[in-house]
Amino acid sequence: MLSPPKAAAPLTDATPVPGAVPTRPAASTGPAARRPARLLAAAAVVWAAVMALHAWVPNAGVNAGSLFQTLLPWTGLGVPVLLGLAAVRRSRIAAVAVLAPAVVWATLFGGAITDKRSGGGDLTVVSHNVNEGNTDPAGTARVLVGAGADVLALEELSDEAATVYSRELAAAFPHHAVIGGVGIWSRYPLADVKAVPIMPWTRALRATARTPHGPVAVYAVHLASVRVSAAGFTTDRRNEAARELAAALRAEPAPRVVVLGDFNGTFQDDALAPVTSQLRSAQREAGDGLGFTWPTAFPVVRIDDVLVRGMTPRAAWTLPATGSDHLPVAATLGR
């Protein structure tokens, strides 16, 4: 006996239709979906504000502000990170907000990455922390001679290394003075040589170079080392040495002054303002790029510099690596 045919099931919204192309559910556009984008936009604005107001970042006992300023050029890495996150979220508002830190970074460092070198100048100077553990001081000396400097300042000299440098540099620099761990070598006669008491042991030296264009006061300086540890960014000894150096520079009567050395800090670090407020950075005014000098394998900061007063920087650059963990820095200066 045949059964009567079953009635067809009624179609509902959940019933699949043969041949139909499945569609994805529409993305939520509610407040919950927009919240991550807004957080990204807020993060970009906050990051821009911190960069722009870097001088106001507190040290809070661990010198966080000083460390932040030391690494300030690298804050630009936040821009591609934030932009990538905005792309993942497909958020236009976040992408637009990323323009804020990009503009701030460009304002702070955009001019530094262009080539500002020009011709002219009548004095070429070089500074190098040669590293007390350098196993090839003779090779380092050859690199420095090849730079064609008129005045050379060396820091972190051991007694044994100073003897080697004096021998290797004698032909190019007939005049030199070494006190403690710093020294000045010059093509021109040196006068008024004296130690500058910035620390209990000698880490700074001053001399007058009698150049054909007039006398120039030359300082070779090595401020105290800093460390990053669980206790924070330890800079107290360096900062005290900077204050002592600043006092010596304020008392310096010479109209033309060149300060060469390892400052164990960057020009942006306000802790060094007692010194940097009196001087101009050759790299900032006449360099090509940011001119990072330490560490040699992958330089991330510029702690070695050529600072001047009463002279005009014409060009500034770094020299090839030597046996040291610092790169040498050089500058040509005009009257």
Structural domain for 100, as ranges? 34-113
Q: Do 105 and 124 touch, CB atoms closer than 8 A?
A: no
In a domain, 196, yes or no: yes
Please indicate, yes or no, whether residues 81 and 147 belong to a single structural domain of this protein: no
Among 265, 183, 272, 263, CA closest to 223:
263
Within a domain: residue 147?
yes
* Contact predicate 150/184, CB 8 Å: no
Query: How do strand 232-234 and strand 204-211 relate by DSSP bridges?
Result: unpaired
- What's the confidence (pLDDT) of residue 99? 96
How far is the C-alpha of 300 from the C-alpha of 222, rounded, in Å?
Answer: 19
Q: Are residues 153 and 91 in the same domain?
A: no
Number of domains in the chain: 2
Please give the span between the terminal C-alpha atoms of the chain, in angstroms, as a whole number. Answer: 119
Per-residue pLDDT of the chain (335 residues; tens, 9 = 90+): 445 555 555 545 455 555 555 555 544 455 655 788 899 999 999 999 999 999 999 998 899 999 999 999 999 999 999 999 999 989 999 999 999 999 999 999 999 999 999 988 999 999 999 999 999 999 999 999 999 999 999 999 999 999 999 999 999 999 999 999 999 999 999 999 999 999 999 999 999 999 999 999 999 999 999 999 888 999 999 999 999 999 999 999 999 999 999 999 999 999 999 999 999 999 999 999 999 999 999 999 999 999 999 999 999 999 999 999 999 999 999 98
Q: How many residues does the chain have?
A: 335
Residue 222 and residue 183 share a domain:
yes
Please identify, among 85, 113, 141, the residue that sits at the C-terminal boundary of a domain. Answer: 113
Asked whether residue 259 falls in the same domain as residue 317, the answer is yes
Domain boundary among 113, 146, 179: 113
Q: What is the pTM of this model?
A: 0.88
Residues 312 and 292 in one domain: yes
In a shared domain, residues 158 and 192: yes
62 and 186, same domain (yes or no): no
Clarify whether residues 153 and 77 are in a common domain.
no
Of 296, 298, 313, whose CA–CA distance to 259 is shortest? 313
Q: Looking at the domain assignment, is residue 26 inside a domain?
A: no
CB 228 within 8 A of CB 188: no
Query: Burial of 234 by CB count in 10 Å (0-12 exposed, 13-18 middle, 19+ buried)?
Result: middle
Task: Please check whether residue 188 lies inside any domain of the structure.
Answer: yes
- CATH number of the CATH domain containing 133: 3.60.10.10
Same-domain check for residues 211 and 278 = yes
Burial 202-217 (b: 16+ CB within 10 A, else e): bbbbbbbbebeeebbb
Per DSSP, the residues of 224-252 read PP-EEETTEEE-HHHHHHHHHHHHHHHT-
Residue 21 lies in a domain: no
Considering the domain architecture, whether residues 195 and 295 belong to the same structural domain is answered as yes
Q: What is the DSSP string of 306-334?
A: EEEESSEEEEEEEPPP-SSSS--EEEEEE
63 and 190 assigned to the same domain: no
